[in-house]
């Protein structure tokens, strides 16, 4: 079976381009998450992996959709290769393990070389963004203009943000756990805790 996997980092980002490419490739089943790629503890990804068997194929648009942490990416990749599950990265044709079936050792060599380079690039980009954000905040603080992050999900939210906020409030009032609300709405757990505090202080 050919499995497709798509991921964006937050609930308000669009998956359409990734899903279109995975469908065009001919994936039999597509899974997607709307959450950070810092590790592989993502509900849809874990569900997909539980269904994958010897001879299956995993297709992703690019390596950063697969994950964001160099060590995690390499460990997950190796585990799937050991289980004889093939991997195809659409925007990097050299990362198609199906091509190397008849060339013993070559597939692993290519995967090792390219993965080392690309996973390093993914992690470096992540670190660069974090550093830029920290520096921007420090500069803003020095200039007296840093106000902290602007809240998206609050009583006066509009449109889709309001719907998500109201759903989080409804689930909290029903006694749902923060983790279940996170999985249901895609909201960050810190955001849910913030909403919960507002309700309790309310």
Q: Is 9 a catalytic residue?
A: yes
Q: How many CB atoms lie within 10 A of CB 122?
A: 20
Q: Which residue among the candidates 9, 41, 50, 177 is catalytic per the annotation?
A: 9
- Under a CB-based contact definition with an 8 Å cutoff, are residues 192 and 172 in contact? yes
Q: How many CB atoms lie within 10 A of CB 22?
A: 25
Cα four-point dihedral sign 81, 50, 45, 76: negative
> Within its chain, how far is the Cα of 122 from the centroid?
13
- Under a CB-based contact definition with an 8 Å cutoff, are residues 79 and 46 in contact? no
Matching residue, tokens 């609050």: 154
Could you give the C-alpha distances from 84 to 21, 52, 58, 132, 174, in angstroms and in order? 24, 10, 11, 40, 44
Q: Could you list the active site residues?
A: 9
């Amino acid at each position: 079976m050919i499995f497709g996997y798509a991921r964006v980092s937050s609930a308000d980002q669009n998956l359409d381009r990734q899903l279109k490419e995975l469908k065009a490739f001919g994936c039999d089943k597509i899974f997607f998450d709307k959450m950070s790629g810092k590790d592989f503890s993502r509900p849809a990804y874990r569900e997909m992996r539980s269904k994958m068997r010897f001879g299956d194929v995993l297709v992703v648009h690019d390596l950063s959709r697969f994950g964001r942490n160099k060590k995690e990416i390499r460990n997950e990749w190796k585990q799937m290769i050991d289980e004889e599950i093939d991997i195809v990265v659409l925007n990097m044709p050299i990362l198609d393990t199906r091509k190397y079936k008849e060339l013993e050792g070559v597939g692993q060599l290519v995967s090792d070389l390219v993965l080392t380079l690309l996973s390093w690039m993914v992690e470096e980009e992540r670190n660069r963004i974090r550093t830029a954000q920290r520096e921007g905040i420090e500069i803003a603080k020095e200039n007296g203009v840093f106000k902290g992050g602007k809240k998206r999900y609050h009583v006066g939210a509009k449109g889709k943000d309001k719907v998500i906020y109201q759903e989080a409030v409804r689930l909290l009032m029903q006694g749902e756990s923060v983790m279940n609300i996170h999985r249901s709405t895609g909201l960050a757990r810190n955001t849910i805790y913030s909403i919960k505090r507002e309700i309790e202080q309310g």
